[in-house]
Structures are given as structure tokens and as C-alpha cells.
Amino acid sequence: MTLDGKCPSGPLPGKWEKHCHDLKLVSPANKRKYRIIVVGTGLAGASAAATLGELGYNVESFCYQDSPRRAHSIAAQGGINAAKNYPNDGDSTYRLFHDTIKGGDFRAREANVYRLASISSRIIDQCVAQGVPFARDYAGYLDTRSFGGAQVSRTFYARGQTGQQLLLGAYAALSRQVRAGTVRIHPRTEMLDLVVVNGEAKGITVRDMVTGRISGHAADAVCLCTGGYTNVFYLSTNAMGSNVTATFRAYRKGAFFANPCYTQIHPTCIPVTGDHQAKLTLMSESLRNDGRVWVPKVRADRRPPHEIPEEERDYYLERKYPAFGNLAPRDISSRAAKEVCDGGHGVGPGGRGVYLDFSDAISRVGEGKIRERYGNLFEMYEKITGEDAYKRPMRIYPAPHYAMGGLWVDYNLESSLPGLFVLGEANFSDHGANRLGASALMQGLADGYFIIPHTISHYLAQTRPGAANQGDPAFIQSVEACEALIKKLLSIKGKKTVNEFHRELGRIMWEDAGMARSRESLERALRRIPELRAEFWENVIIPGGEAELNQELEKAGRVADFLEFGELLARDALHRNESCGGHFRTEYQTPDGEAKRDDENYCYAAAWEYKGDGREPELHKEPLVFEDVHLAVRSYK
């Protein structure tokens, strides 16, 4: 089946405005008759729930944390892009659009990306009005900095905690709606299933994580804002609780999963220290504004960094990509780091690290200035490694960070299941095969504040409010299925812990489907994952019972889904016989080791349809049509 993204016709700049005019509205008096479920309270979820509540809809907001303010958007450090062109350095909506399309290696939908770029400025305005304390200059104007993949300074920031401040802004708006009575928050509640009635998404089944009670919640539409799936690699920069369950359960209920193989490996993370490690910590990309990346020219050079003279250092990003230098995009910087480490030039334990050196910047602008810009990041680095990065360079290495893939959505952010909308990182739409830094926050807030309020009304206007309720057979069946699954998990009483299985899955995914993949490695992953999954269902041990707070049970459910999802990721990576962005197949590269796309055969979004357990999913293609942008070899040289 060829999928239709439902992009409006007409010239790129006018598409969204025209489309908004064509969308149906729900009148103010009728809005309160509709109930909308929003799962997840990160930037996309909190902004959507707040805005829909403001409009007068009844909103039910769910999160697994004890407070909506703790969703993992809070950990985003560096900043948020917007085409304000305040610095007068040549930025424009079109440039942000073009940078994003190119950054995504020409695998994103043009119309979506243009809309994102055109909305970007309003996001900054909105956040400032909410009281987000962005960095300012002495006269009181907003400050910006540069991020990877751009030659302009368009990233707005609040110290190294931009995600936190933006999320607290959205959380404030959400809290205001709770007080107004339009939004109800369900904290410590995890979505286990999507409920579909007559082919349309009409609710969810959840588990109360304190009492263990499983219940159905009916609504007129469902928005999934549940983030990405990079914890499939076990070690990633995601929060410990980040998981694929909500989107994967929706996939099993009929929503198509698009481009799962597009995963972002972030170049600047603190290297792994041992098997005990539970997660990896990112060091913001903004550090590459002032830090220079290098490795010793001599292999296995064990001298401390300050003893290695300038001429024996390889500033490989500056050497290979002189135009962008240390601000080369993430996929390219990560692969370059892997390449030098594979070549034996890595530093630190196991040779899995490169230096990010601030000594030039410190001698240029002084330690005080660097402390002001990145103080909290240097502190975090010292807490984790025990090293002072003002004195010796940081050691960094790539780590799984973000999922460009996600549930397939059309221009309205509606999935292949009517009534199911997917926002933020959970959808696939805007970043193609690689996301540029500071664009995730932009997308989450664009989707939640400015897009969903328009597009969801178009769907609701064509439905009768309250058509489904918790007494429907679909809800009862879903609750029973979730209860049965939990009973089954608890009854296994095997020998291996959930973490052991997760760690093993992570190893398979990282080795065989990570930064570099090949037909051989992916076929191996497709053999190893089902074996591990089979073992999981025979040998996992989960203590405690179902009707209580049981953190191992929560983890087990998530890992069970990762064990299925990992296979889908590998299958998608195997089918895509090209390299693009974060998807690097070793068979498909240029003579100098860059990703080699195949536009003739793979210029499409791959959307997978679940066909039942033990059966292969079916591939649907949405052709990517480029009307305004010329498909080109991506060069940052």
C-alpha cells in the first residue's frame, strides 16, 4: 500500500495556513463535550494537554512519573532552535527548513519540516510570555548560540538546562489548566494498551503503579506523546523509565511504525566505565561551540593529554569537515569518533573515547566565561568521572540518544489509526534520518502548542462525542488481556533478572544494529533477538505480586516490548539497503567513508504494519517528494 501523508497542495510557505483554513472546527460550546487522552507529559504532552485544556476540551493526562514535571524532556541541555534571525547572520524560515531537511539526510517530509521552521519563532515568544528565563544580554535582549549542522546562531538557551525551563513552562501552563478543571492528571500511571473501537482509537488501558489496578479509560481521541525508544540499546541517555510500550502497543493495535532503524547516536556522552552502568550521560552539543575534538595521532598513545604536543594531535573533525569543524552534525561526528577509535587512536579505558578540549577557549576568553556558559555541565562531568575538565580535556564517546523513527503520522499528526495522534519524539515525521541539535525541543512544542489544537478538531468535528465508554467489550477485553499478561510474567519465576535480559538485548542491538550495521550483523541480530525473547518468557524472575507497587514488574513489561521491538528495528535496518543519516550500513559508503544514499530506491518512509505474532510485518511506503529542495549529497566539508 502506498501511504498518503495528506500534505496540502500549493506553494510550500502557504501550505499550513491554507490547511488550517480547510480544517473543520469544533465550536466553543461543543468542545467541553469531547474527552481527549494525552499520554506522556514531556514537552509535546504537557504543551498539548495544556493547550487543549485552554481551548475547553476535557483532557486526561497520564504519566508514569510522580509528577508531570519529571518527564525526560527535562534533561535536554543545550537549547531550542528558532529562525528569529535576531543576530542578523542570515537566518530565515527557509534556511532553518533547509538545514533540517539536509541534516535529516533528505529523508523527512518537506511540508512538515517547513511548517516546523515557520512555527519556531512563535515558540520562543510563547515561552518568554510564560516566564522561561532564557539567557539575555546586558541590554535585556535574548542571546543565542550555535549548534551542529548550522552556520548561523539560532539556538536559544537557559544555561545548560533549556529542556528543564521549557518543560517547567509547559508544566506551569498544564498546572493552570488543572486548577481550571479542564485537565486531570494521572501520575504514577502507565499505559499498557490502546483500545480500538470500530477501527478508531477510543481509549487506553493503564496500570496504577501504586495499587497495581488495571483499568480502561475511554475518550474521543488519544494523543501519544511518549517519547523515544533508544533504551532498546539498554545504555542510552534516556531516563531509566523511558520505554517503547505505549507506541509499540499502538503498533500491535494497527498503527504503523515508521523508520524504526533511524536512531541517533549522540557524539558527546561520558564513556562507559563498566558492566554496572545503568545509563549514559550526555554532555551538551553546545560544548562543541568552544571545545575542540581530538585524538593522539599515534595509536595507543597512553601519555596524559597535556604531554601530547600540538603537532601530534589529530583534530579530526576540523581536518575532515573544515566548513563546519567541531560543529559537524551528530551522525557524522559520531561516526568519525568511532572511526578514530576503531583505528586505535581512542583514549581512556578500552580506547573508547576522544578528547573534547577547552584549553584554547579558556585561554581565549578566560575560565570565568567558560564557567558561565557551561558551568553546570563541567560540574556534572566532574561528579561522574572525578575529573576537572577545566584542567584536562573531557573524554567523550557516542551513545544512543534519540529516535527519529516512531509511529507513522500524516500531516495532521494522525496515525494510520483514526483518532490516534502522535506527537514529539514518539512520531517519525520531522527529522528524517538524523536530527539536528536543539530541534527536538522545537518539534515537541510545535506539535503540542501549535499543531495538534488545529488538527485534532478536524477529527473531532466529524465524530460524535462520547461514542465509546469503558463498558464496551473492547475495553473489557483489553483490561483482561493486560491482566493476563501480568499474571503470565509473574508466573515464570525463572532465574535471570529483568536487567540481565535488558543488558543482553542492549549488547545485541549495540553490536549488531548500532552505529554501523551490515547485512551480516543484522541477520545475526534477527537470529539472536528471538532466542533471547524465548529465554525471557521461560526464565525471567520477577519478585512480588501484581496488586502492589512492583518496580520489577513494570520493567519486565517494558523489556518484553523492547524484545519484540528490537527485531522490528533490525528488520527495518536490514531492508534499507542504503546509508542515510543515523542509519549507516557498512556496505553502502563513499570511498571516504560517508553515508551513501540510494535515492532511486529508498526515497521513502518505511511504515510497518503488525500482522500478528510470529508473522512478518508488512511494509508500506510513503514516497518522499521533494518539490522545493534539490536532493543532494550531504556535505559539511
Site for other proteins in 131-170 (CB under 8 A): 131, 133-142, 158-159, 161, 164-165, 168
Which residue, 138 or 363, has its beta carbon nearer to other proteins? 138
Q: What would the x/- binding string for other proteins be over residues 91 to 130, using CB under 8 A?
A: -------------------------------x-xxxxxxx
Query: Minimum CB separation from other proteins for residue 164, in Å?
Result: 6
- Please state the closest distance from residue 121 (CB atom) to other proteins, in A: 8
Q: Is 630 in the site for other proteins (CB under 8 A)?
A: no
* Ranges within 464-503 binding other proteins (CB under 8 A): 495, 497, 499-500
Cα–Cα distances in Å, from 564 out to 198, 244, 635?
26, 10, 36
- For other proteins (CB under 8 A), the number of binding residues is 80
Q: At closest approach, how far in Å is the CB of 161 from other proteins? A: 6
Helix (H) or strand (E) holding 183: strand 183-186
Q: Which of 151, 281, 359, 477 binds other proteins (CB under 8 A)?
A: 281
Q: Which residues contact 311 (CB under 8 A, 6 or more apart)?
A: none
- Report the nearest approach of other proteins to the CB of residue 111 (Å): 21
Residues paired with 38 in a beta bridge:
61, 223
Binding residues among 377-406 for other proteins as defined by CB under 8 A: 379-380, 383-384, 386
Grid cell in block for residue 362: 579558556
HEC per residue, 281-305: CECCHHHHHCCEEEEECCCCCCCCH
Give the dihedral sign, CA 360/363/365/369: positive
CB of 504 to other proteins, least distance (A): 14
Q: Is the torsion defined by CA of 163, 561, 570, 538 positive or negative?
A: positive
Nearer to other proteins, 304 or 386 (CB): 386
Nearer to other proteins, 210 or 625 (CB): 210
Minimum distance from residue 172 beta carbon to other proteins (Å) = 4
Q: Which of residues 290-319 bind other proteins (CB under 8 A)?
A: none
Nearer to other proteins, 47 or 439 (CB): 47
Residue spans of beta strands (DSSP E) within 349-405: 354-357, 394-403
Buried b (16+ CB within 10 A) or exposed e, 111-139: bbbbbbbbbbbebbebbeebebebbeeee
Out of 32, 33, 84, 98, the only residue in the binding site for other proteins (CB under 8 A) is 84
> Which residue's CB is nearer to other proteins, number 109 or number 159?
159
Q: Which of 21, 276, 302, 615 binds other proteins (CB under 8 A)?
A: 276
Q: Which of 298, 319, 39, 82 is nearest to 186 (CA)?
A: 39
Contact status: 21 vs other proteins (CB under 8 A): no
Rounded to a whole number of angstroms, the minimum distance from the CB of residue 57 to other proteins is: 13
Q: Is 69 a catalytic residue?
A: no
| Cβ contact 66:187 at 8 Å | yes
Shortest separation between residue 486's beta carbon and other proteins, angstroms: 17
Window 211-230: contact mask with other proteins (x via CB under 8 A):
--------------------
Q: Is 278 in the site for other proteins (CB under 8 A)?
A: yes
The answer to whether 36 and 59 have CB atoms below 8 angstroms apart is yes
**Distance of alpha carbon 222 from alpha carbon 57, whole angstroms:** 13
- Contact between 178 and other proteins (CB under 8 A)? yes
In the complex with other proteins, the residue whose CB is nearer, 240 or 484, is: 240
Residues 440-469 that bind other proteins (CB under 8 A): 449-450, 453
Q: Which of residues 45-74 bind other proteins (CB under 8 A)?
A: 47, 50-51, 54, 65-67, 69-72, 74
In the bound state with other proteins, the residue whose beta carbon lies nearer, of 82 and 214, is 82
Round to whole Å and give the CA distance between 518 and 512.
8
Backbone dihedral angles phi then psi of residue 278, each to the nearest 5 degrees: -100, -30
In degrees, rounded to 5, the angle at the alpha carbon of residue 614 between the alpha carbons of residues 566 and 249 is 55
* Neighbour tally for 470: CB within 10 Å: 15
Query: Smaller CB distance to other proteins: residue 137 or 310?
Result: 137
CB nearer to other proteins: give 156 or 408.
156
* 165/142 Cα distance (integer angstroms): 15
Q: Scan residues 317-376 and list those touching other proteins (CB under 8 A).
A: none
**29 near other proteins (CB under 8 A):** no
Cα torsion through 57, 63, 66, 71, rounded to 10: -100
The helix (run of H) or strand (run of E) holding residue 18 is: helix 15-22
Q: Give the nearest distance from C-beta 448 to other proteins in angstroms.
A: 9
- Cα separation, 333 vs 348, whole angstroms: 19
Element (H, E) at 457: helix 452-460
Residues 70, 107, 249, 330: which is the catalytic one? 330
Strand partners, 2: 621
Report how far residue 31's alpha carbon sits from residue 52's, in angstroms, rounded to the nearest whole number.
Answer: 9
Return the residues of window 228-247 that contact other proteins according to CB under 8 A.
239-241
Under the binding rule (CB under 8 A), the answer on residue 549 touching other proteins is yes
- Phi and psi based region of residue 561 (left: phi greater than 0; alpha: psi -120 to 50; beta: remaining): alpha
* Window contacting other proteins (CB under 8 A); options: 279-287, 406-414, 474-482, 515-523: 279-287
Closest CB 166 distance from other proteins, rounded Å: 11
Interface residue with other proteins, options 541, 596, 609, 619 (CB under 8 A): 541
DSSP H or E run through 453 = helix 452-460
Identity of the residue, 235 or 526, whose beta carbon is nearer to other proteins in the bound complex: 235
Strand boundaries in 188-285, DSSP class E: 189-197, 200-208, 214-218, 221-224, 257-258, 263-269
Catalytic positions are 330
